[in-house]
Chains A and B, each alone.
Chain A
Amino acid sequence: MSLEVKLYPSKPEKVYLYGTCLVNSFSPETGLDAIALLEAEGLEVLYPEGQTCCGQPAYNAGYADEALKVAQSQMALFPGDWPIVILSGSCGGMMRKHYRELAPEDDQVAAFARRIFEFSEFLVHCLQVQLVDRGEPESVTLHTSCSGRRELGIHDTGVALLSQLSRVDLVEHAYATECCGFGGTFSVKQADISSAMVADKGQHLNDTGCRRYVSTDWGCMLNINGHLEYAQRDLRGLHLASYLRERTKLEGAE
């Protein structure tokens, strides 16, 4: 991995939103909340039809040809040159980093990859948002996905946003940098190891005493919430977009 300086564009008029397959199926409200936040910043949000999946599951499972076909079908949905805001660090890692590995010679793919911004990263670096906290005092903890942290290098943007909320106490949990154990097919192919990892993650999040945790990745959250439900804990996770919208009490987009 060569060191690459990420250049951020200034605030655009319009952005594309890439929902991701997990948001699409499991938490559409995350998508609506993200749109509300982006629109509140004065952006027009484009949501192209035909979004399915970024291709990461196949790529990680070792089916690169399948992943490439899907990647091509998704790239075709974003013909304009607006930035593409994506609601997950791991799908962001796929589109920004691995698409280029799938088609290393293709300049268009490289140009596409440069337009990819993870949601919290976009709010902090391109929009420089200033959030007004309108919620009740609360403690919350943040889980950063490994792809967000290590593939995109954005472990600090979630913190930056939550720190703007004057009545939110951001509590760090033990082993915050350690993986939750999801890993796509890993969670099924090596289910014993994966579930031992998520049990630890659940424990560490729970030990903070917070009622809720926040993340920018539904992959991790399906895993962690699934464990928390199984372990009959009250703690639940929600997407940063939903949390920010709730705290700032923004009206809906739809």
Chain B
Amino acid sequence: MHSTPTAFKAQAKAALADPVIRQNFRGAMDFLRGKRQGVFPEQAEFKALQACAETIKQQALDDLPQLLELLEQNCTRNGIQVHWAESAQEANEIIDGLIDQHDGTQVVKGKSMATEEIELNDYLGARGKDCIETDMGEYIVQLAGEHPSHIIMPAIHKNAEEIGQLFHEKVAGVDYTTDVDTLINIGRTQLRERFMAADIGITGVNFAVAETGTLCLVENEGNGRMVSTVPSVHIAVSGIEKVIASLQDTPPLLSLLTRSATGQIITTYFNMISGPRGYGEAERDGPKEVHLVLIDNGRTQAYADEQFRKTLSCIRCGACMNHCPVYTRIGGHAYGTVYPGPIGQIISPHLLGLEQTNDLPTASSLCGACEEVCPVNIPIPNLLQRLRRQSNLGREASTGIRGAGSARSGLEALVWKSWRWACCRPWAYGVVTRVVALARPLLGLVKTPWNKGRATPRPAPKTLNQLLKHRATGSNRTGGAHGNH
């Protein structure tokens, strides 16, 4: 069962009707919100850190071309081989080529949303290469033949019963259990053998430091360290926006990332990868080769527009989805995109084009909970509004985003035009509101989508404008006179 963004409404509806999904997400989001709250007791401290991180990312984006060049230079100097991919297809070809070059047969992977984005597993699978997920959540999702429903907690949609059942069905010799420690141990035992046999390890990147050519990888399970050190070839895959200027920039970003994501002051592992194993006798472990694949895949489109560029500051902490009232109710799969929730709603239109993702910008009440917690202060509601504007544009208006104008409805545009006409003419507005007030006994008969779970509101018999008419005229004169002071 693969979901798609074009079927968003139907998928959301199905999720809303599923009590297990509702309960799993509500419970998990409450838990994560509480954890985050616990490590940001002072709003002022959060605001200060946020301002610092926002500046770091903004500056890095402003200097993106230069920083990428510098990153390539310094990585190369460190012995990391840098590859550029304009599209998902290109990235997959590069990675597949590298695996072939080394006659790789056993591929292990650490958690990486970039490789989800390019659908690497499917690509390699179609070429007879097994790619095993080693992050516990990703492993569960892979075993179930599903996709991650959250960017930090890929299997958050499943409860212990579902995981127990899955392991019992899919892993030989495992009895059904709901004990979490036992389940984790089962997973670990399975994975350990895979690490030892693997010849290629693939990971994502959290920050790529231009100044030193260092790839930073944040994780809790130690699988990222195993994947990047045990196999003889390590391939790191990253979006181009992950580059930051200097090592000095990592502490505030790391601190915000872990606290926003899981409510941890720091994660169990923080890997700083600065190249393959050294030559000669000095180093006996670590991969013999390290590759960095840098992906564009629609990012330069967002980059070209000053407002949309902010989308690329994202450090993928997931806090926006944890706090989103929509995500909390429909879960991650309903979005039909690799990145779900608020960040998915603002990034997917750039990755996939607006034709396919038109429903996403509308799937928000613009409540602002996402912006409030975003550690790099991305104005998500503003960007959603901007995307709505882009999807409504007439064909004549050209714009930098693929699929602009694809949601334009002549009828809707006409409705807003007429609305504007009436709102700019008080007499007309008065007529309309009075007619609606007169029609109040009939309004209950009209059924619109509003009436899903709601009664139609009834206008008052007389409007405030009518009731205050005499006051209004008098007051207006007074107000005008004051303006002449």
Task: List residues of chain A with CB under 8 Å of any chain B CB.
Answer: 1, 3, 14, 16, 19, 23-29, 31-32, 44-53, 55, 57-64, 66, 69-70, 73, 77-82, 101, 146-147, 149-151, 177-179, 181-200, 222-223, 225-227, 229-231, 254
Contacts and interface: CB of A to CB of B under 8 A. Distances in A.
Given A60-B385, A225-B457, A230-B454, 11 more contacts: A31-B468, A60-B388, A62-B388, A69-B420, A82-B479, A146-B367, A177-B369, A190-B362, A193-B330, A229-B455, A230-B453
Given A47-B475, A192-B13, A62 B429 contact: no
Contacts of B480: 79-80
Contact of A183 (B366, B392, B468): B366
B365 interface: yes
Contacts of A80: 478-483
B272 interface: no
B450 A46 contact: no
A59 B468 CA distance: 28
Contacts of B371: 1, 150
> Top 3 closest A-B pairs, CB basis?
A183-B365, A62-B388, A191-B449
19 contacts: A1-B377, A28-B463, A31-B468, A32-B464, A46-B475, A46-B479, A50-B426, A51-B465, A61-B392, A62-B361, A81-B483, A150-B369, A150-B372, A183-B365, A189-B362, A190-B12, A193-B12, A193-B330, A197-B325
Interface in B458-485: 458-460, 462-469, 471-473, 475-476, 478-483, 485
B364 A186 contact: yes
Given A150-B367, A222-B457, A58 B464 contact: no
B16 A193 contact: yes
A85 to B, nearest CB: 13
Contacts of A47: 468, 471-472, 475
A29 to B, nearest CB: 8
Contacts of A58: 416, 419-420
B475 A48 contact: yes
B475 A192 contact: no
Contacts of B458: 26
Given A3-B47, A26-B459, A49-B469, A186 B420 contact: no
B382 interface: yes
Contacts of A193: 12, 16, 326, 329-330, 363
Contacts of A184: 365-366
B344 to A, nearest CB: 15
Contacts of A150: 367-369, 371-372
Interface of B: 9, 12-13, 16, 47, 51, 325-326, 329-330, 359, 361-369, 371-372, 377, 379, 382, 385, 387-392, 412-413, 416-417, 419-420, 422-424, 426, 429, 433, 436-437, 448-460, 462-469, 471-473, 475-476, 478-483, 485
Nearest to B412: A61
Contact of B424 (A51, A73, A81, A229): A73
A189 B234 CA distance: 46
A226 to B, nearest CB: 4
Nearest to A229: B455
B307 to A, nearest CB: 10
Most buried by A among B329, B363, B365: B365
Nearest to A50: B426
A27 B16 CA distance: 33
Nearest to A224: B454
A149 B479 CA distance: 30
Contacts of A179: 325, 365, 367, 369
A72 B323 CA distance: 35
Contacts of A188: 448-450
Nearest to A64: B389
A183 B364 contact: yes
Contacts of A146: 365-369
A77 B463 CA distance: 18
A1 B449 CA distance: 33
A179 B371 CA distance: 14
Contacts of B382: 101
B472 A14 contact: no
A70 B424 contact: yes
A121 B433 CA distance: 29
B460 A27 contact: yes
A52 B421 CA distance: 11
Contacts of A14: 478-479, 482
B429 A52 contact: yes
A46 B476 contact: yes
B58 to A, nearest CB: 12
Given A1-B377, A26-B459, A61-B388, A70 B325 contact: no
Nearest to A190: B363
A186 B12 contact: no
Contacts of B368: 146-147, 149-151
Nearest to B457: A222
B366 A60 contact: yes
Most buried by A among B368, B382, B417, B422: B368
B464 A191 contact: no
A212 to B, nearest CB: 17
B459 A81 contact: no
Nearest to B22: A196
A47 B465 CA distance: 9
Nearest to A187: B450
A112 to B, nearest CB: 12
Contacts of A52: 422-424, 426, 429
Nearest to A179: B367
Nearest to A70: B423
Nearest to B408: A62
Given A49-B473, A178-B325, A190-B12, A31 B367 contact: no
A81 B482 CA distance: 7
Contacts of B462: 28
Nearest to A191: B449
Contacts of A60: 366, 385, 388
Nearest to A65: B420
Contacts of B9: 190, 192
Contact of A28 (B412, B449, B460): B460
Contacts of B325: 178-179, 181, 197
Contact of A48 (B392, B413, B479): B479
A61 B417 CA distance: 12
